[in-house]
Amino acid sequence: MMAAGLLGLLLAAAAEAETAAGPKPVEVQFTGPSGCSGERAFFDNLRLRTANVRPAAGDEPRTTLQVRLNRERGRVVGELRTVDAAGATETRRVQGASCDDVVQALSLTAALALDPSAILTAPPTMTSADASNTPPSSQTTPTRTGEKPPEPVAGGSSGPLAPPVPVTRSRPV
């Protein structure tokens, strides 16, 4: 019992020390169909969930977030590939009814990967039009929009859902 308490204290101290080091530098690489949310909407949604990230500058070590959206059979499928400064990768896929739904889901995934204490509630919907016409938001406490979250990617049939896509991690050789 005491070991569990000590472990909790150590984890809290580690999280606090990481936050004290300052926001993590990230680079977003975004590709998607025309009319979809873009890189700015993704980064704005990420920042609404965690203040522990900032745009990478120059040649500094960074985490790269590669976001790719595609339209498939009337749905939007999104893939997030996270590449850390050491070259290790992790890939996640989701699908949803709209680009905005998928960007929301992928920004949450990225936020939790970069900051386990990230805000879990959905930020206000940031559409592609919003992202191109408004300055970055200073709001740090998102509100729940009541929208249905995107569904996991199925195996491609209209039958039962396929098992979740496993997280793939690799280290440079």
Query: Does residue 79 have a pLDDT over 70?
Result: yes
Question: Mean pLDDT across the stretch 37-59?
Answer: 95
Question: What does the block give as tokens for 33?
Answer: 């169909």
Over 50: is that where the pLDDT of 75 sits?
yes
Handedness of CA 152, 158, 160, 164 (dihedral sign): negative
Residue 164: predicted pLDDT: 52
- What pLDDT is attached to residue 168? 57
Half-sphere exposure of 143 (CA within 13 A, CB side): 3
**Residue type present at position 71:** R
In this structure, is residue 164 part of a structural domain? no
Locate all alpha helices (DSSP H) within the chain, ordered by sequence: 2-20, 39-49, 99-114, 128-133
- State mean pLDDT over 9-29: 67
Vertex 161: Cα angle to 156 and 167 (nearest 5): 85
**Backbone CA torsion sign across 48, 14, 5, 113:** positive
* Domain-located, residue 84: yes
139 pLDDT exceeds 50?
no
Burial, 142: exposed, middle or buried (Cβ in 10 Å; 0-12, 13-18, 19+)?
middle
What single DSSP character describes residue 42? H
Q: What is the pTM of this model?
A: 0.62
CATH number of residue 133's parent domain: 3.30.160.100
Q: Does residue 168 belong to any structural domain of this protein?
A: no
Domain that holds residue 58: 25-153
Position 148 in a domain:
yes
The verdict on residue 11 lying in a domain is no
Is the residue at 15 inside a domain?
A: no
Report the domain count for the chain.
1
pLDDT tens digits, 84-123: 999 999 999 999 999 999 999 999 999 999 999 998 876 5
